[in-house]
Homo-oligomer: A and B are copies of this chain.
Amino acid sequence: MSEALRPAAQRSATLEDVARVAGVSRATVSRVINGIRNVDPAIQESVRRAVASTGYVPNGAARSLVTRRAGALALVVSGSGTDGRDEEAGRTQVFTDPFFGRVVSGVFTGLRPHGVHPVLMLADAPEAREQALSYLKQGNADGAMVVSTHADDPMPGLLLAAGVPTVLFGRPAAPLPVSCVDLANRDGARLAADHLHARGRRRVVTIAGPPAVRAARDRLEGFHEAMARHGMPYLPHAEADFTQAGGERAMTRLLVEHPDLDGVFAANDLMAQGAVAVLRDHGLRVPEDVAVVGFDDSSAATAGRPPLTTVRQPVEEMAAEMARILLDVLARPGRGATSVIFEPELVVRRSS
């Protein structure tokens, strides 16, 4: 149709245009733009003027075609699919979890100084995984940060096989040669155990996370180990799904089977919050009757009443480090895998 229909269809200025205006060659303009030295200051100035007057902005595609850099990194949320539930509800569940928000926040902290943006990818089903993988193989992102929920998540392996620079949040299940950041989950659980024991709790139960999640298993095992050292080798526990509702259901079951319990350790704050709610529903006082300890020190820990004693996981710092590691791998490839393990910390509040 007529050009008139697209008023501002003005092909945006190219290097060529700037060069013409400045009266130099494309190459020189490119050098100025990319801050390469060896350019006459006077020429630099006139080029800058030309850039301003033409409103020139480099074309990202052309640039990455030749540099082989996309200037973007993927943040892959690699899940297990939404076990039969409504698909969108499952997604909302994942993205609404404070954990996800903290990861995003930390990633920004790590990426911002480099002017890189994260592209979000959800790999929660085979097709979605393929889609994400092909997107990465196309070079639309230079590397991937992966936070996966299931221990048997195939994504890390697939990325590695595809040669995509990758860093994981959480150690890989199989011993893959891949960089990662993680928390010393067992240590964290031990802190909780020692604390509950020191508080004189002797009938303690655990609300564990999904056994398919490595961090969940580590927390459970670490807790049980520590309690065993305190002379309490057999502890009841119920499994839940890291949600508050799941925590409520688990607490309800445990309360039926062990009405005399006096301490609860939950593998994350959301479930701990659910536990507190159920305990109070049953007329039990927290912490007088039952002490509750959570895990993560997320916003959920301070949202309820009473605020939760919890094991702090510095998610933001970890995510920022994950981003930095990836950036580093990109900057000088060929280096071996790095892994950084963070130490948890007990935060005592009023629930214990």
Q: Which residues of A contact B (CB under 8 A)?
A: 5-6, 8, 12, 57-65, 68, 70-72, 74-75, 88, 91-92, 94-98, 100-102, 104-106, 108-109, 112, 115, 117-122, 128, 131-132, 134-135, 137-140, 163, 244-245, 273, 277, 280-281, 298-299, 302-305, 316, 333-334
Distance (Å) between the CB of A100 and the closest chain B CB?
A: 7
Pull 18 A–B residue pairs with CB atoms less than 8 Å apart, ordered by A.
A6-B334, A57-B134, A58-B138, A61-B62, A61-B64, A75-B120, A88-B109, A91-B108, A96-B102, A96-B298, A96-B299, A97-B101, A100-B101, A108-B120, A108-B122, A244-B303, A281-B305, A303-B303
A62's nearest neighbour on chain B, judged by CB, is B65
Number of copies: 2
With A101-B101, A104-B120 given, is the CB distance from A91 to B109 under 8 Å? yes
A138's contact among B59, B121, B140, B273, by CB below 8 Å, is which? B59
Chain B residues near A304 (CB, 8 Å)?
A: 277, 304
Name the residue on B nearest A72 (C-beta): B119
Known A96-B102, A244-B303; contact A334-B112, beta-carbon cutoff 8 A: no
Residues of the B chain whose Cβ atoms lie less than 8 Å from the Cβ of A120:
75, 104, 108, 117-120
Q: Is the CB of A280 within 8 A of B305?
A: yes
Most chain B beta-carbon contacts within 10 A, residue among A273, A277, A305: A305
The reply to whether A60 and B140 form a contact with Cβ atoms under 8 Å apart is yes
CA distance A119 to B107 in the complex (A): 13
Which one, B57, B112, B118, contacts A137 given CB within 8 A? B57
